[in-house]
Structure 1
Amino acid sequence: MFFTALQWKSLISTALLVADQIEHYIGIMSGTSMDAIDAVLVRFNTDNTLDTIHTHSQSFPDSLRQNLIELIQPSWTGSLSDIASLNAELGSIYGETVNQLLRDCDIAKDDITAIGNHGQTIWHQPEHEHAYSWQLGDANRISEASGITTVADFRNRDIAASGEGAPLVPAFHEAVFAHPKETRVIVNIGGIANISLLSPDKDVIGFDTGPGNGLMDAWCLKHLGKAYDENGKWAAQGSIIPELLTQMLADPYFARSFPKSTGKELFNLAWLAPFLSPEMAAEDVQATLLELTARSIVESVKAATDEITTMYVCGGGFKNKQLMARLQALLGDTKLDLTTSLGVDAEWVEAVAFAWLARQTILGLPGNLPSATGAKGFRVLGAIYPA
């Protein structure tokens, strides 16, 4: 089923599709930061609104997280058997996460229409001769463990239609956060950062700006043994290294026109290594990595528009006070806020988005935006694994 841009605008003109009854969906997200599995129960109401009913966050087992981190390194020397095993293990853990969510909020599985699971991205290669995006997390096991229909593998239909397969959240952002008079920018800062530019009278612009938390987390783990730099305190102790920042910003990705998408297969410590020299202090490198994230986000926004009134942040990066401070400094008079003020908690936007995307799939409606992914048309996304 294909949709024109005009038909798509009509479908989301009231923010959400009208349903004749209240529906419940679950969204699961484990992003490129690999800090936790987030699951959220979402209620879709008959008055074109949605509500977050309950949330649950479950940490990755240390061994699983370490295996996943190693898997996406260029130096990885594992086997196909290792990947298959991780796929099964992740699927089982996603299923456990759903069941814990249901126990916590005391809702029956029969009251849930479907689960939307993004899966754990291990490699994203939209520019390959045979383009693909690979997420682990066996949806068969999620459906089997929970007894709930599961929708997964959202990205590859868009790629089959000549798109980047990412970012997918701009469609959700437009449906839920767009304003009839204001131009808004939604910035999701996970391991990779992406933006959605929502204009009242123009097609949505959405793309990955580059590294979000991912490089900072990897550098922090290497030097402090910690998964992340809490509140950016370590980065705040360092000083920006101008020549390092200049070299990193010279990467061709930043100059590419959008639509575009990327991941840790590009922005990792192996990418960083050639830019470093022995005299660089670790905290100074961390400060520079934080500046790279802030600068690449703001410069991407300014290249796309000069009309924004407010930038709304979501994703784990909003917890980094130093990063938020640098974003505001670079934005100048433009207001910086969180999506929480628009009705969806900044911590849970992506998980809610995949509940919404699952609903689009179940209803036979498109989940991508060609203006964001570059696909040759609107497409119904995902594969359905029945209960």
Structure 2
Amino acid sequence: MRVLGLSSGTSHDAIDAAVVEFGLDDDTLHGTLVHAAAHPYPAELRAEILDALPPRDVTLAAVCRLDTLIGQSFADTAAATVAAAGPVDLVCSHGQTLYHWVDDGIVRGTLQLGQPAWIAERLGVPVVSDVRTADVAAGGQGAPLVSLLDTLLLSGLPGPAGALNLGGIANLTSVGQGAPVAFDTGPANALMDAAALAGTGRPYDEDGRLAAAGQVDPALLAALLAEPYYRREPPKSTGKELFHADYLAGHLAGRPPLPVEDLLATLAELTARTVADAVRERGLRSLVVSGGGADNPVLTERIGALLPGVELLRSDALGLPSAAKEAVAFALLGWFTAHGLPGTLPSCTGAKGGRVLGRITPGHGPLRLPEPLTGAPAAARFSC
């Protein structure tokens, strides 16, 4: 089965697409990455998305407009991907998270926009979407959903092992010590990107150059590390409803002006410290790193320095290109849903049980899905 995974993360910069050819051999799922690409959002649409993020208030008219425009942009990406990679049997679209409603550590709801009917109409194939809500309804965090991919991918590594994704938010999956555990550790690029945009007008600190030229401000770092979220026990999840530009501005208010280089160095240290604390707490011996933050040498070098004795390797070494991992994760979730298999692990999300994820928008003609499987794969292996 060929599945197209579509995703846009908390950096809100592009739609990631990955076409994966899946085949099941006994209890091992083999995935061949046929095509992967990132399609930047149109500048005007990205600006509208950013304007709608917390803590800003938005109207229902704005929500309706964004749901449509994001859905059309996802459909454009899907069509371009199929033109490059050939037909697919199914699409799984994560859409764009606009709000993750967390109240005292409990996820009450989650909102991803990007109406899937635009994709189904454009390609004529079924689309799985709204993949987080079933887990939330079952008492889970609805995140990190990449934990399904991580646990299957890490099954061949000597434990305890972990997978770290450095997107706008950093999330960690840990295996090899009983049931798998997964949670958001805190910000990865979210606050650094906000600081880079405010200080330079550019959306991010390319290759960590500005952070490399700066010095960590100990007082600011201590204030940032006092955030109560870091001391919550997993399962837990967060996003830009907490770690946004105004959150950072609040910490900077009343302090002497800080050069952007020093601010970025401090924020990189914040991410490295919170990640390293989580990895040490789980006693991990190896860490598979992916996401945009994996290309920031300041960040990865600091994580490595804080974790002596822990082997760091990119997901590319396991046949899964770092930049494509999130989109591949949603292709995998689509495959699980199509085969009637739960896409969540209760120990990772905190739900009372595994749930088949999402809702399905039919394409053209009758909806036909594979026969449900009675058992889930125990491992996954990927190649390009």
- After TM superposition, the score normalised by the length of structure 2 is 0.90
Which of these residues, 244, 259, 265, is aligned with residue 281 of structure 1? 259
Aligned to 2:75: 95
Contact 1:177 1:342 in 2 (8 A): no
Deviation of 1:325 after TM superposition, in Å, equals 0.9
Aligned to 1:62: 43
* 3-state SS in 2 of match to 1:131: strand
Q: Residue 49 of structure 2 aligns to which amino acid in structure 1?
A: L
Contact 2:196 2:203 in 1 (8 A): yes
Contact 1:92 1:145 in 2 (8 A): no
Aligned to 1:182: 159
Q: RMSD between aligned alpha carbons?
A: 1.4
- C-alpha distance in 2, partners of 1:126/1:369? 20
Aligned to 1:4: none
Contact 1:56 1:97 in 2 (8 A): no
Deviation of 1:148 after TM superposition, in Å, equals 1.5
Q: Residue 308 of structure 2 aligns to which amino acid in structure 1?
A: G
Aligned to 1:80: 60
- Which aligned pairs between 1:1-387 and structure 2 lie closer than 5 A? 23-47=1-25, 48-74=29-55, 76-105=56-85, 107-108=86-87, 112-127=88-103, 131-179=108-156, 181-199=158-176, 202-276=178-252, 277-303=255-281, 305-306=282-283, 308-387=284-363
* 3-state SS in 2 of match to 1:378: coil
Deviation of 1:130 after TM superposition, in Å, equals 8.0
| 1:29-66 C-alpha deviation (Å, 9 max, x unpaired) | 11001121111100112433111001121101111111
Deviation of 1:166 after TM superposition, in Å, equals 0.6
- C-alpha distance in 2, partners of 1:345/1:89? 29
| 1:121-173 C-alpha deviation (Å, 9 max, x unpaired) | 11101437881000010011111112121001111110100111111111111
* 3-state SS in 1 of match to 2:320: coil
| 1:304-343 C-alpha deviation (Å, 9 max, x unpaired) | x22x221110111111111111111111121111011111
| 1:54-109 C-alpha deviation (Å, 9 max, x unpaired) | 112110111111111111131x243110111011001011011011111112x13x
Give 5+ residue unaligned stretches, structure 2: 364-384
Deviation of 1:176 after TM superposition, in Å, equals 2.4
Give 5+ residue unaligned stretches, structure 1: 1-22
- C-alpha distance in 2, partners of 1:283/1:181? 39
- C-alpha distance in 2, partners of 1:78/1:353? 30
More strand by proportion, 1 or 2? 2
Contact 2:7 2:15 in 1 (8 A): yes
Deviation of 1:372 after TM superposition, in Å, equals 1.0
- After TM superposition, the score normalised by the length of structure 1 is 0.90
Q: Residue 40 of structure 1 aligns to which amino acid in structure 2?
A: A
Q: Alignment identity in percent? A: 39
Deviation of 1:116 after TM superposition, in Å, equals 0.7
Q: Which runs of 4+ in 1 moved over 3 A?
A: none
Q: Residue 156 of structure 2 aligns to which amino acid in structure 1?
A: H
> In the superposition, relative to structure 1, how do residues 345 and 302 fare at CA in structure 2: closer, same or farther (>3 Å)?
same
- C-alpha distance in 2, partners of 1:113/1:127? 38
Deviation of 1:182 after TM superposition, in Å, equals 2.6
Contact 1:35 1:59 in 2 (8 A): yes
Task: Tell me which moved more, 128-137 or 257-266.
Answer: 128-137
Q: Residue 192 of structure 1 aligns to which amino acid in structure 2?
A: I
